[in-house]
Amino acid sequence: MIPYCARGRFPSRVGLLAPAGCFLLALLFQAGCTGNSKVVTAIVINPLHPNILFIATNDSVLKSRDDGATWKIATEGLGHARILSLAIHPTNPSRVYAGTLGDAVYRSVDGGHRWSIVNAGMKEHVAYVNAFVFYPQNPDVMMAATTVGIFRTTNAGMMWEEMSNKGMDSVYTVSVALDPADTRILYAGTSGGVYKSVDGGATWNEANNGLIHAEPGTALSLGVNALLMDRKKTSTLYAGTTRGAFKTEDGANHWVKIQEGIGEKFISAFIIHPKDDSALLAGTESGVYKTTDGGARWTSLEHGMTNLNVRALAMHPEDPKILYAGTQGGLFKTVDGGATWAELNIKPRKED
């Protein structure tokens, strides 16, 4: 994600990624994120066994086998890597991926028990790996959004290839969306808005009409932390940004604000209901917000949350009333669709 403490406007050119720039980004990310904290940066749920989930904290990866009631450390092989993103293979959930600050990508093939680095082909100066996307027809093909653009693997992470950034003015990529009906159509959410490709990533075009009201490549750009696509109508997308929520219904030709009830809050995470594409949740600097009408109106869901600085969201694939929210100050769970939340104790238990 865009470093959370860096609110508002971001430089968008690759100069941001010079060594001094990377150091600044690291400082921004670490601000308010000291060691042994309860910051939760990522949450993933096993799609076949939803009682199993992983979270990334400021200094560890934890695994639960009982819906978050108890936790064990799952970091063997990760060393001191700071985890920014997690992903579980959709058909082989024993395979888990971790995007890091500094070491690019790690992979576990045994459900998080052991990890090994799988960053062959990635540039040495990939500072952050912010998100992963699996291709639906063959999940061993996947993309990783990084500080220097998008990388793709066709062999489950064993080798990565840098995708073209031709046409991109901003290459700091935070989120990626893939059209499952036509995988040649890709969307990249960057520190300078949205870019679209219709040729599988060979070339890109800026797609910021209605999103950014400024000349591209200037400091007036905004970061796009999350992109969601309607599963039935793939030309409809939602963008969670550093200045609120936006929606397009024409394949990113034009965006409109969808901010009634939510304002221009910094959105770090988006999730969509597994059966109702008009129902979405947004994790913001001020708690969780929900819409049931495609973003026309948003309502706050914060009752029981003692920390509202939300960094990650996850929804139970079989029971959408069960949600998890990772915040700057811990992990929260609801079993009633967000009406009430309770904090989970994520202190890992001792090894048996």
The DSSP-derived string for 143-209 is EEEETTEEEEESSTTSS-EEPP-TT-S---EEEEEE-TT-TT-EEEEETTEEEEESSTTSS-EE--T
State how far the Cα of 159 lies from the Cα of 313, in Å rounded to an integer.
29
- Cα torsion angle, 68, 40, 158, 143, sign: positive
Phi, psi values for residue 294, rounded to 5°: 70, 25
What is residue 39's predicted lDDT score, i.e. its pLDDT? 93
State how far the Cα of 98 lies from the Cα of 129, in Å rounded to an integer.
8
With beta carbons less than 8 A apart as the criterion, state whether 165 and 203 touch.
no
What is residue 304's predicted lDDT score, i.e. its pLDDT? 93
pLDDT band at 123 (very low <50, low <70, confident <90, very high): confident
pLDDT digits (tens, 9 = 90+) for 149-191: 999 999 999 999 999 999 998 899 999 999 999 999 999 999 9
pLDDT band at 79 (very low <50, low <70, confident <90, very high): confident
Tell me the whole-structure pTM to 2 decimals. Answer: 0.89
pLDDT band at 204 (very low <50, low <70, confident <90, very high): very high
With beta carbons less than 8 A apart as the criterion, state whether 237 and 187 touch.
yes
What is residue 258's predicted lDDT score, i.e. its pLDDT? 95
Residues making up the chain, counted from first to last: 352
What is residue 131's predicted lDDT score, i.e. its pLDDT? 96
Share of the chain above pLDDT 70, in %: 86
Task: Flag whether pLDDT at 142 surpasses 60.
Answer: yes
What is residue 213's predicted lDDT score, i.e. its pLDDT? 67
What is residue 103's predicted lDDT score, i.e. its pLDDT? 87
- CB neighbours of residue 19 within 10 Å: 9
Q: Which residue has the tokens 């901010």?
A: 259
Closest CA to 151 of 128, 179, 182: 128
State how far the Cα of 212 lies from the Cα of 10, in Å rounded to an integer.
12
With beta carbons less than 8 A apart as the criterion, state whether 231 and 26 touch.
no
pLDDT band at 16 (very low <50, low <70, confident <90, very high): very low
Provide the CB-side half-sphere exposure for 71 (13 A, CA): 19
What is residue 170's predicted lDDT score, i.e. its pLDDT? 87
What is residue 215's predicted lDDT score, i.e. its pLDDT? 53
Both tokens assigned to 297 = 């109106």
Amino acid at 352: D
Both tokens assigned to 271 = 């999730």
State how far the Cα of 300 lies from the Cα of 167, in Å rounded to an integer.
38
Phi, psi values for residue 234, rounded to 5°: -75, -5
State how far the Cα of 81 lies from the Cα of 190, in Å rounded to an integer.
23
Q: Which of 30-39, 104-113, 142-151 has the lowest mean pLDDT?
A: 30-39
Closest CA to 310 of 263, 265, 276, 273: 265
Task: Flag whether pLDDT at 19 surpasses 80.
Answer: no
Task: Flag whether pLDDT at 44 surpasses 90.
Answer: yes
State how far the Cα of 232 lies from the Cα of 311, in Å rounded to an integer.
27
Share of the chain above pLDDT 90, in %: 77
Beta bridge partners of 330: 327
What value does the mean pLDDT of the chain take?
87
